[in-house]
């Protein structure tokens, strides 16, 4: 990159406004020295922040990948032009994804992560002293290699003997595996039209693949998209209602993630009831976790599942069941759609 210039991705990658569709260009830094990243959240809504430079980028068979260096959020990982995680606040998302199911389980030993290519979910799971094996299955080797190269904070997780990295379609991998797991985690990219993951949010997948692969007392958890006042009907309410058709006990929960410019949602499910209080969660954190949690404690754990009236009412009234034929998507398109 030449002095005084910043190389920026174009168009669908969300990182430039000049040039023709599909091209990459170099844009002059404005007089005030700032260049802005934009993500189109909805047709009439954008999320924007300044960036220092594009650290790396690429296109795999499945997705477009980029790593940005930003002033506000540190290193930012983009998939198909959409924010996946940011160095400064990824701990919120990953602690909320991993620790609720592990802390609710009586004695978790085995865990299967669908997706999770950046390694942060595995990093959090490996803090639990009871864990004997974490299988991380990501379809996109280029994303995994990209994150191994750039996200140095997860090097220890990637080098752990307890981590088994598999490059495969998670559906195929689970179908072919003989064993079962205490915890199955959906750390998947958002369901976007043409993306590789939307089939892994369907009722048939939960019913025929996920549930049979859980041990007794097993817990399933998935990220479930935006869950704010205005955004929760995109996919969060549908994913919740779909999982509710398959499992007896289902808990939706949310937390604000600043770099996502929204509240985010997760759904946790089991055929065994969840019966832990704040004091017990604090006790389990002290006893089971080797390392620090930056976001979660017992009180915060319970507050995640205390939904505001607007979102809770929508979830109760939701009737849509997610299928491949009747899928819902958040704003944006995957590589297959653009092709």
Instruction: Match 């604090």 to its residue by tokens.
Output: 282
Q: What tens-digit pLDDT sequence spans the chain (339 residues)? A: 222 223 344 434 555 433 333 333 334 445 466 888 898 888 888 999 998 999 999 999 888 899 999 999 999 999 888 889 999 999 999 999 999 999 999 999 999 999 999 999 999 999 999 999 999 999 999 999 999 999 888 999 999 999 999 999 999 999 999 999 999 999 998 887 776 688 999 999 999 999 999 999 999 999 999 999 999 999 999 999 999 999 999 999 999 999 999 999 999 999 999 988 999 999 999 999 999 999 999 999 999 999 999 999 999 999 999 998 988 887 765 554 444
Residue-wise DSSP of 145-166: HHHHHH-GGGHHHHT-TTEEEE
In sequence order, which residues have a C-beta less than 8 Å from that of residue 145 and are 6 or more positions away?
Answer: none
Domain 5-86: give its CATH superfamily: Spermidine synthase, tetramerisation domain (2.30.140.10)
Q: Using CA atoms, how far apart are residues 62 and 339, in angstroms rounded to an integer?
A: 11
| Phi, psi torsion values for 131, nearest 5 degrees | -70, 125
Q: Where are the domains of the chain?
A: 5-86, 90-338
DSSP character for 289? B
Considering the entire predicted model, what is its pTM?
A: 0.89
In sequence order, which residues have a C-beta less than 8 Å from that of residue 167 and are 6 or more positions away?
Answer: 137, 138, 139, 140, 141, 144
Catalytic-residue membership of 187:
yes
The 10 Å CB-count burial string (b at 16+, else e) for 251-289 is: bbbbbebebbbbbbbbbbbbebebebeeeebbebbeebb
- Which CATH topology does 90-338 take? Rossmann fold (3.40.50)
Q: Say if 5-86 and 90-338 have the same CATH topology.
A: no
Q: Write down the catalytic residue from 187, 262, 271, 290.
A: 187
């Amino acid at each position: 990159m030449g002095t005084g210039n910043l190389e920026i991705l174009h168009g669908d990658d969300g990182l430039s406004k000049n040039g023709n569709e599909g091209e990459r260009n170099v844009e002059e830094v404005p007089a005030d020295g700032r260049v802005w990243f934009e993500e189109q959240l909805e047709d009439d809504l954008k999320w924007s922040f300044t960036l220092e430079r594009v650290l790396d980028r690429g296109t795999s068979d499945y997705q477009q990948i980029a790593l940005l260096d930003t002033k506000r959020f540190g290193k930012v990982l983009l998939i198909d032009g959409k924010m996946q995680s940011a160095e400064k606040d990824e701990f919120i998302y990953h602690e909320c994804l991993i620790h609720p199911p592990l802390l609710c389980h009586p004695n978790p030993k085995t865990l299967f992560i669908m997706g999770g290519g950046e390694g942060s979910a595995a990093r959090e799971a490996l803090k639990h002293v009871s864990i004997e094996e974490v299988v991380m299955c990501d379809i996109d080797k280029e994303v995994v290699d990209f994150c191994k190269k750039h996200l140095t904070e997860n090097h220890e997780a990637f080098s752990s003997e307890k981590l088994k990295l598999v490059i495969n379609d998670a559906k195929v991998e689970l179908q072919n595996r003989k064993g079962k797991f205490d915890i199955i985690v959906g750390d998947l990219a958002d369901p976007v039209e043409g993306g590789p993951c939307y089939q892994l949010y369907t009722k048939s997948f939960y019913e025929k693949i996920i549930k049979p692969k859980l041990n007794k007392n097993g817990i399933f958890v998935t990220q479930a998209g935006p869950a704010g006042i205005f955004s929760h009907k995109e996919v969060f309410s549908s994913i919740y209602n779909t999982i509710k058709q398959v499992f007896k006990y289902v808990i939706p929960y949310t937390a604000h993630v600043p770099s996502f410019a929204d509240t985010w949602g997760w759904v946790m499910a089991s055929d065994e009831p969840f019966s832990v209080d704040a004091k017990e969660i604090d006790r389990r954190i002290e006893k089971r976790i080797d390392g620090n949690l930056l976001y979660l404690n017992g009180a915060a754990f319970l507050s995640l599942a205390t939904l505001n009236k607007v979102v809770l009412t929508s979830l109760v009234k939701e009737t849509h069941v997610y299928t491949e034929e009747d899928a819902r998507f958040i704003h944006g398109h995957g590589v297959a759609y653009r092709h």
